[in-house]
């Protein structure tokens, strides 16, 4: 759980940069690829990350710039990446400029349960990390080079003078 605003801001900055890197790797063709017949496309999973930022943060009272909860996915995936950048930065700014550490203990209704704001921020990070990992695995299956997030990806090992891991 997030216990200090500074802890969230530091972690969010790192995670949003990683998510942007993965979203930027999605090609137009990959964006249209379904995870299974009739399932979400890779692009829609990215859009789902975007939609969740103002929706979940908004339940805490934070004002986050972004699309409405059920806004349709943009046709051009570059617009998803741009909107992610705007919304993710807006989350950062809203938390930094609105809350103090003690606000993290405030409870709000979140999906029919009482969550502390710190719990919500932690869930927001975990939600993003979960779907970013999902996108990375699906991209790999489509043949798109996946960028490293918590370390180098297979294609990046050469930059370290090492053979790709198997």
Query: Mean per-residue pLDDT for 132-144?
Result: 95
Q: What is the pLDDT of residue 154?
A: 82
- Binning pLDDT at 50, 70 and 90, where does residue 160 land? confident
Residue at 135 is within a domain:
yes
Residue 166 maps to a domain: no
Spatial contact of 41 and 31, defined as CB atoms under 8 Å apart: yes
Residue 136 has a CB neighbour count (10 Å cut-off) of 20
* Number of structural domains the chain divides into: 1
| Domain of 30, in residue numbers | 5-160
**Residue 44 within any structural domain of the chain:** yes
Three-state SS for 89-102 is HHHHHHHHHHCCHH
**Residue 53 in 3-state DSSP?**
helix
At 152, the pLDDT band (50, 70, 90 cuts) reads confident
Residue 90 is assigned to a structural domain of this protein: yes
Phi, psi for residue 129 in degrees, rounded to 5:
-60, -40
| pLDDT tens per residue across span 9-63 | 999 999 999 999 999 999 999 999 998 999 999 999 999 999 999 999 999 999 9
Predicted confidence band at 156 (pLDDT cuts at 50, 70, 90)?
confident
Q: Residue 86 domain-assigned? A: yes
Burial bucket for residue 21 (CB in 10 Å: 0-12, 13-18, 19+): middle
Mean pLDDT over the full length of the chain: 95
pTM exceeds 0.85? yes
Q: What is the pLDDT of residue 2?
A: 87
Q: Is residue 24 part of a domain?
A: yes
Distance, CA of 135 to CA of 130 (rounded, Å):
9
pLDDT above 80 (res 164): no
CATH of the domain at 37: 1.20.120.450
């Amino acid at each position: 759980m997030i216990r200090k605003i500074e802890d969230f801001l530091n972690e969010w900055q790192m995670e949003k940069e990683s998510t942007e890197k993965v979203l930027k790797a999605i090609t137009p063709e990959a964006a249209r690829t379904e995870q299974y017949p009739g399932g979400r496309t890779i692009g829609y999973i990215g859009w789902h990350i975007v939609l969740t930022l103002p929706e979940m943060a908004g339940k805490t009272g934070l004002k986050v710039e972004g699309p409405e909860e059920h806004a349709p996915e943009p046709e051009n995936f570059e617009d998803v990446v741009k909107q992610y950048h705007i919304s993710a930065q807006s989350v950062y700014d809203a938390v930094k400029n609105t809350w103090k550490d003690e606000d993290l203990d405030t409870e709000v209704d979140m999906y029919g349960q009482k969550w502390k704001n710190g719990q919500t921020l932690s869930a927001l990070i975990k939600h993003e990390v979960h779907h970013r990992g999902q996108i990375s695995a699906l991209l790999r299956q489509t043949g798109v080079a996946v960028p490293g997030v918590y370390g180098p990806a297979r294609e990046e090992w050469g930059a370290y003078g090492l053979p790709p891991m198997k």
